[in-house]
Amino acid sequence: MAKYLIIAVSLLMLVACSSADKTEPFNPEREFTKANEEFEDKHREDARQRFENIIRMDTQYLYAPLAQLRIADSYVADDDPELAIEEFRRFLDTYPRHKYAAYAQYNIGLVYFKLIKGPERGYGAALNALDAFTQLNELYPRNPYRQDAELKIEYSERIIAEHELMVGSFYFFRKAYNGAIDRLEGLIEAFPKYGDDPEVLWRLAVSHKGLGNDETSSEYLQRLEQLHPDSKYLKKARKYISKLKDD
């Protein structure tokens, strides 16, 4: 009787071990759902680990691209712009023709855009945002973010232009006219519409006069007179040029 009992117990142990050895097959859809739940519950580090596992295990690449995007989204949610941009770029490097490629490119621009803090401290972020949104519309002309991207491009350009004008003015008031001309004429070259701006025109007219470039100074002054005959900047230009002549 004892002999049969031992055999029965042994069989039960074999069955138990056999069941334990059988691991549940990887299901990327189920894992993605769990990871999203963790994301929404703000357990983002746990979610990221699960998303990373999906990227490694999903050999069909049905959920791996989405997992990569959600990792990037998680860093946006955690207010970590550097890692967010890095992960969005990783998605674009890995899946450049994916249907969500425009989403990744748009979000790179959006992360940079949110870092803009005005012309004094937002110049670098504005340059990066402008580049990202411009690429978005060039690479994905039918992207659903085009209208918003255009508005953000316009704002980024204005921040960059205001920064260049600010630096040009800094040189101008210190009579470092070469520096002022480099900045202000560079501004016009990058953004031609500023070639009609009265503040830009009067600073350039005076700066060239200060360096003895009388012909170029007269050209800027004439343009200022034609476009803005009642502008305060025309009066300033004449006053400054008159002072330079007296000196």
pLDDT attached to residue 243: 82
Average pLDDT over residues 41-60: 94
Q: For the structural domain made of 99-174, what CATH number should be given? A: 1.20.58
Is pLDDT at 2 greater than 70 in this prediction? no
Is pLDDT at 149 greater than 50 in this prediction? yes
pLDDT attached to residue 20: 45
Whether 31 and 55 have beta carbons less than 8 Å apart is answered as no
pTM as predicted: 0.82
Residues 6+ positions from 177 with CB-CB distance below 8 Å: 171, 207, 208, 210, 211
Whether 133 and 153 have beta carbons less than 8 Å apart is answered as yes
In whole angstroms, what is the distance from residue 17 CA to residue 19 CA? 5
Helix axes 214-227, 232-246, angle to 10 degrees: 160
Burial of residue 11 (CB within 10 Å: 0-12, 13-18, 19+) is exposed
Which range, of 18-22, 158-162, 217-221, averages the lowest pLDDT? Answer: 18-22
pLDDT in tens, 70-104: 999 999 999 999 999 999 999 999 999 999 999 99
pLDDT in tens, 160-197: 999 999 999 999 999 999 999 999 999 999 999 999 99
In whole angstroms, what is the distance from residue 144 CA to residue 206 CA? 46
- The residue type at 200: V
Q: pLDDT band for position 120 (50/70/90)?
A: confident
User: Which residue would you say has higher pLDDT here, 3 or 105?
Assistant: 105
Whether 220 and 201 have beta carbons less than 8 Å apart is answered as yes
User: Which residue would you say has higher pLDDT here, 87 or 119?
Assistant: 87
Residue 122 to residues 98, 157, 164, Cα–Cα distance (Å): 31, 11, 12
Is pLDDT at 19 greater than 90 in this prediction? no
Structural domain spans, the chain: 31-78, 99-174, 175-247
pLDDT attached to residue 241: 86
Whether 113 and 129 have beta carbons less than 8 Å apart is answered as yes
pLDDT attached to residue 15: 47
